[in-house]
Amino acid sequence: MQKRKLGRSNLEVSALGLGCMGMSFGFGPASDKQEMISVIRSAVERGVTFFDTAEVYGPFTNEELVGEALAPFRGRVAIATKFGFKPDPKGGPQWSGLDSRPEHIKQVAEASLKRLRVDAIDLFYQHRVDLEVPIEDVAGAVKDLIREGKVKHFGLSEAGVRTIRRAHAVQPVAALQSEYSLWWREPEAEVLPTLEELGIGFVPFSPLGKGFLTGKIDESTAFDKSDFRNVVPRFTPEARKANLAFVDMLRRMAERKKATPARIALAWLLAQKPWIVPIPGTRKLERLEENLGAAELHLTPEDLREIESAASKITVQGARYPEHLQKLVGR
């Protein structure tokens, strides 16, 4: 597996990471813990050194899973986790608002260190921008944790460019994590140029469009009642039917390259910038192997022009988030 550096930080990780959220949260019931430990360890065996989790996934159970799975590989892998949500006071699976107060950030760090079974968090993201707390105070709190040796690198998730600049001035931001894929390209307008200027790495989540770009979902697919995609406008049956045009485009290229739509979608992302590290998630070993194959797939300049031309003719149907969640991004 090739390695990539996240911007100008010294954080070097595998070109593709593994998003672990869906193993415990978001896409239907949690999977069997031992099976997921096996998938995570198989990823390490195949060269993956970058794993993504968050306290709110579960809540807490995903960090515990990742901590147990990666315990034998200390020093060989980097784990990213996140702070900034208030867990449900009743202990349920939902969160009850944002909380990026410095004292809360430090409490989260202590708890995450225990669950992850590490001495230091490799990359600590603010999960969503909290307008109640100046970003300078947030960056300052993480700076303190870095000084104390409890955190190695600071990250932001779904932040807007002004917030990125303000945070970076206090404590260098190693990486921004936001949604980016062939069917969600908003970061290209302002975010990617800002990251390039400042030397910040980019970690696209949902690089396969929450599974849609794999070609395994169509308008008749039924999701479990606990699956987050049930409330996403882009995943209504009508929107899915219209958006299959994206999958058809990827399939045509995949046939020519003897690949799969997922591999084409991930290879396209990797070709955008050398400091982009996508984190596709999966619960299945065969899908893990399929995704990791994208790192070996070379798309020529002609291939990329063809994808660009075809994608420019397709209008994606449906918003990527319901309105209450869309308000939390790009701030």
- The label of the residue with tokens 């390490």 reads 44
Q: Is 57 a catalytic residue?
A: yes
Beta bridge partners of 204: 178
**CA–CA dist 168, 150 (Å, integer):** 19
- The label of the residue with tokens 């140029």 reads 193
Closest CA to 329 of 128, 42, 78: 128
Label residues 182-193 b or e (16+ Cβ within 10 Å = b): bbbeebeeebbe
Which of the residues 57, 125, 180, 321 is marked catalytic?
Answer: 57
Closest CA to 177 of 196, 198, 208, 201: 201
Distances (CA, A) of 158 to 168, 194, 195, 309: 15, 14, 13, 27
**CA–CA dist 115, 150 (Å, integer):** 14
**By the 8 A CB rule, do 254 and 299 touch?**
no
Residue type, 215: G
**By the 8 A CB rule, do 176 and 156 touch?**
yes
- SS3 call for 79: strand
Please list the active-site residues.
57
